[in-house]
Amino acid sequence: MSSLFTAKKLIKDLKRNGHEAFLVGGVVRDFLMKSKFNDIDITTKAKPFEVMKLYKTAPTGLKYGSVTVLYDNEKFEVTTYRLDGPTSDFRHPDSVIYSEDVKDDVLRRDFTINGILMDEFQNIYDYVDGQKDIEAKLIRAIGDPTTRFNEDALRMLRAIYFQSKLGFEIEEQTKEAIKNNTHSITELAMERVHQELIKILKGEYAIKALNSMVELGLDKVLPGLEKGIQYVATLDKMPFVDTFFTLSFALNNGVVPSKWTFSNVHRNKYQKASELANKVHGMPDDKTLYTYGLEISLLANKANFFLGRSKHLEKKIQEVYDNLPVKSELDLALTSHEIMKFLNKKQGVWLGNLRKQMIEDVLLKNVNNTKEDLYKYLQDKKVN
Ligand code: ATP
Ligand code: MG
């Protein structure tokens, strides 16, 4: 965990080496709000190669003048003062121009609350009236909001993220500019949108943030989530991220749009759980529990609970699942070999089909899952 103490020491050290430097961004904002900070950003006049000469570093964002410095075993994001050039992809400046003036660096940042500087003595340098906006609990773009959102469309979602994190209001003109530019979100790399959305969903004021998304039309540019966002915005308790996606895709007819950059595990989970949530609203029967498994069944129930379609059945589902006579094919009391031997038949498609039928009959309690009863069951089959 990186500390303010060490960050100040690093700033002193940079200065000793002739490089002006300040704390900036979330750490200063959170310090002024007396809340816990996430990571520590330092902005400096030193060029990246100069920082790299002085410290142990990792070139995390070298293209944008940013390196991660390891100092006293703590990590700091150290970025050279820069002026951002124009963008052609709504996200990354085409060129990074370094500056000698920290004011330039502050003016290229997203919101006033994120543009406050602090030195190693905790003196504040506020060129964007950020303190006033912290006081007023306002998220306000630095400069002309439309221009700033055209430079980088992700900032619109960042405004929502800071609302979700801090509970602040978005300033009127900033809001207006988002409303008029939501379409450019679709030009962004989906991975970035995805990451920002997850941050939004995890914030303390997530429901407030979702309400803003609906108000500003951002729900409409997030594929498959429109109905979910609109619905959850009306609730007074935010579901966990997994539940949010499951209920959203359930409301989207069980479709998980391919654009989202979920891992295969997550995509499969949301696909199955939203499908089940639409198929069974209350308690799933044994066969369904077996087919979908415990995790998906619990998730589907949580989604339906939030959708007002079911009671909380977590305990019941867990209990019934624990008592299933079979949880997987391997639990069948007869092996394939034993079945083949008993029926005196060679391996073939019939075997898989028969085992499936046997599992189903075990789940439906037509036969007990014991060798004895299953042999009897096979004997009857042979006769018929
Ligand atoms: P968090 O508490 O989530 O870390 P943060 O404000 O520190 O919030 P970061 O994503 O860590 O946000 O970025 C650090 C700082 O870099 C921001 O405070 C802001 O000054 C600047 N910044 C980050 N992303 C952008 C962007 N897309 N456009 C302009 N400035 C940005
Ligand atoms: Mg940060």
Give the CATH number of domain 137-222; options: 1.10.510.10, 1.10.110.30, 3.40.50.1820, 3.40.50.2000. Answer: 1.10.110.30
pLDDT at 338: 97
Mean pLDDT of 270-293: 97
Angle at 192 between CA 246 and CA 76, to 5 degrees: 120
pLDDT at 1: 85
3 state DSSP class of 311: coil
Q: With 70 as the cut, is the pLDDT of residue 372 above it?
A: yes
| H/E segment holding residue 289 | helix 286-306
- Locate tokens 């293209």: which residue? 63
Whose Cα sits closest to atom 14 in ligand 1? Answer: 25
Q: With 90 as the cut, is the pLDDT of residue 186 above it?
A: yes
Q: With 70 as the cut, is the pLDDT of residue 86 above it?
A: no
Mean pLDDT of 261-289: 97
Q: With 90 as the cut, is the pLDDT of residue 276 above it?
A: yes
- Locate tokens 């004997």: which residue? 379
Q: For the chain, what are the domain ranges?
A: 1-136, 137-222, 238-324, 329-383
25 CB less than 6 Å from ligand 1? yes
Whose Cα sits closest to atom 26 in ligand 1? Answer: 110
The CA 114 to ligand 1 mean position distance, Å, reads 7
Q: With 90 as the cut, is the pLDDT of residue 95 above it?
A: no
Tokens describing residue 218:
């951002």
Question: Is there a contact between 2 and 27 (Cβ–Cβ < 8 Å)?
Answer: no
77 CB less than 6 Å from ligand 1? no
39 CB less than 6 Å from ligand 1? yes
Q: With 70 as the cut, is the pLDDT of residue 263 above it?
A: yes
pLDDT at 42: 98
Rounded distance, CA 367 to CA 356, Å? 13
pLDDT range class, residue 6, cuts 50, 70, 90: very high
pLDDT range class, residue 84, cuts 50, 70, 90: confident
287-292 long-range contacts, CB within 8 A, separation 24+:
287/360, 287/363, 287/364, 289/317, 289/320, 289/321, 289/324, 290/324, 290/326, 290/327, 290/359, 290/363
Convert the pLDDT of each residue in 323-360 to its tens digit.
Answer: 999 999 999 999 999 999 999 999 999 999 999 999 99
What are phi and psi for residue 169, nearest 5 degrees? Answer: -90, 155
Can you name the residues that pair with 213 across neighbouring β-strands? none
Rounded distance, CA 225 to CA 245, Å? 8
Mean per-residue pLDDT over the chain, rounded: 96
pLDDT at 96: 82
Q: With 80 as the cut, is the pLDDT of residue 89 above it?
A: no
Rounded distance, CA 60 to CA 281, Å? 47
Rounded distance, CA 166 to CA 206, Å? 10
109 CB less than 6 Å from ligand 1? yes
pLDDT range class, residue 87, cuts 50, 70, 90: low
The amino acid sitting at 270 is Y
Kindly give, in sequence order, each residue whose CB lies less than 8 Å from that of residue 183, ignoring residues fewer than 6 positions away: 221
What are phi and psi for residue 117, nearest 5 degrees? Answer: -105, 150
Neighbours of 269 (CB within 10 A): 19
Whose Cα sits closest to atom 8 in ligand 1? Answer: 26
Ligand nearest to the CA of 33: 1
Whose Cα sits closest to atom 17 in ligand 1? Answer: 25
For the chain, the farthest-separated pair of C-alpha atoms sits apart, in whole angstroms, at: 94
**Fold match between 137-222 and 329-383?**
no
Convert the pLDDT of each residue in 109-131 to its tens digit.
Answer: 999 999 999 999 999 999 999 99
The DSSP annotation for 170-203 comes to EPHHHHHHHHHHGGGGGGS-HHHHHHHHHHHHTS
155 CB less than 6 Å from ligand 1? yes
The amino acid sitting at 331 is D
84 CB less than 6 Å from ligand 1? no
Rounded distance, CA 20 to CA 18, Å? 7
Rounded distance, CA 67 to CA 76, Å? 8
CA distances from 304 to 223, 262, 293 (A): 21, 22, 17
Convert the pLDDT of each residue in 211-234 to its tens digit.
Answer: 999 999 999 999 999 999 999 999
pLDDT range class, residue 63, cuts 50, 70, 90: confident
- Nearest atom (ligand 1) to Cα of 114: 18
pLDDT at 17: 98
Best substitution site from 68, 114, 118 to test ligand 1's pocket, by max atoms within 8 Å of Cβ?
Answer: 114
Ligand nearest to the CA of 26: 1
Per CATH, which fold does 1-136 belong to? Beta Polymerase; domain 2 (3.30.460)
* Secondary-structure class of domain 329-383 per CATH: mainly alpha
65 CB less than 6 Å from ligand 1? no
pLDDT range class, residue 382, cuts 50, 70, 90: confident
41 CB less than 6 Å from ligand 1? yes
ipTM of the complex: 0.99
Looking at residue 76, the DSSP 8-state letter turns out to be: E
